[in-house]
Structure 1
Amino acid sequence: MMSRVKQGIAAGFIATVAVSILEAANLLFAKVFDPFPEIVARMFQLGDNLVAGWAIHFVIGSLIMGPLFAFIYPRLPTNTPETKGILFAVAAWVAMMLIISMMGDPRTFSGSAGFGTFAWMLITHMIFGGVMGNVFARLLAREKRAGGFIHGAPAH
């Protein structure tokens, strides 16, 4: 049986992989928007170090966003797991934009940055949230099915 934190880490990791595929396609083929790992590296004053940006991106998505989502999941006001994830991810995007705007380097968004990059980041955060919510709900349902009954009462 997995704890909620482990379920959140797993859901966050899978959602990060899904978004990373989109980011890799943008980075390798399109380069229309500033890649999120590059923005993350600049936020942490690591220059354009993509390896560090990817590592931080996975740590934040898996070890911070996933468990935090698992903790507040029952308190989110929407009805479906996907919309709970999207709501959570959009709130995280707003917080990130505020932090970057207030405390970050004004050159964080450079090059092709602009409204398109902000929109791209919002869209990828929404995808991240939808995937994370779906995976988390599936892990909860799987555990509920595996838990079975204890003396005629549900385990959860």
Structure 2
Amino acid sequence: MNIYIRSMIAGFVATVVLSLLMLMKGMMGLMPELDVISMLGKMAHDMMGMGGAGLAWLIHFMIGTVLWGILFALLYEKLPGGGAVTKGMSFGALAWLLMMILPMPMAGAGLFGMNLGMMAPVMTLVLHLIFGAVLGFVFRALSPSAVHA
């Protein structure tokens, strides 16, 4: 299987897991002000004049599947970590850092989401580390050597 297809499948699975955790967080009433889908919807509306939850979810899955998936494959050999899961977690931390300094301020949440409180950067870091672990795990599980081992 092509490495980029493999990485996008891994990105999709990791995004599904991340999305389920986000939904569970919302259902438990944890940090309702940290609603990434609402933030993406507002940003899409501000930038393109259209928005809504459907478009926000589509953007969320495109970022996780295509952008982060392909970028993970491109950076894989350079990422710190001895295995795919730790490399994935390193990548998740990098994705978190980029999110904290680019889209968070654009969404009005401030640098590192600090306008949402101290827990925003902590919670998003944990979610990104889980995303990265799943990304690395699935990427490795789909590798040709894992299939034939």
TM-score normalised by the shorter chain: which range applies?
A: 0.7 to 0.9
1:82-101 per-position Cα deviation (integer Å, ceiling 9, x unaligned) = 11011111111111211136
Paired residues for 1:4-43 under 5 Å: 4-33=3-32, 34-43=34-43
| Higher Cα Rg, which structure | 1
* AA in 2 matched with 1:95: L
Task: State the Cα distance separating 1:28 from its structure 2 match.
Answer: 2.7
* AA in 1 matched with 2:36: F
Measure, in 1, the Cα distance between the counterparts of 2:95 and 2:109.
21
With structure 1 as the length reference, what TM-score do the two structures score? 0.78
Query: Which structure has greater helix proportion?
Result: 2
Q: 2:96 aligns with which of 76, 79, 93?
A: 93
State the superposition RMSD in angstroms: 2.6
Task: State the Cα distance separating 1:59 from its structure 2 match.
Answer: 0.6
Paired residues for 1:1-150 under 5 Å: 2-33=1-32, 34-45=34-45, 49-100=52-103, 104-106=106-108, 113-140=116-143, 143-144=144-145
CA contact (8 A) 1:85 1:131 kept: yes
With structure 2 as the length reference, what TM-score do the two structures score? 0.82
Question: Structure 1 residues 43, 119: closer, same or farther in 2, change over 3 A?
Answer: farther
- Identity among equivalent pairs (%): 29
CA contact (8 A) 2:43 2:107 kept: yes
CA contact (8 A) 1:41 1:52 kept: yes
* AA in 1 matched with 2:41: A
CA contact (8 A) 2:39 2:107 kept: no
Unaligned runs of 5+ in 1: 149-156
Task: State the Cα distance separating 1:37 from its structure 2 match.
Answer: 1.7
Task: State the Cα distance separating 1:42 from its structure 2 match.
Answer: 3.0
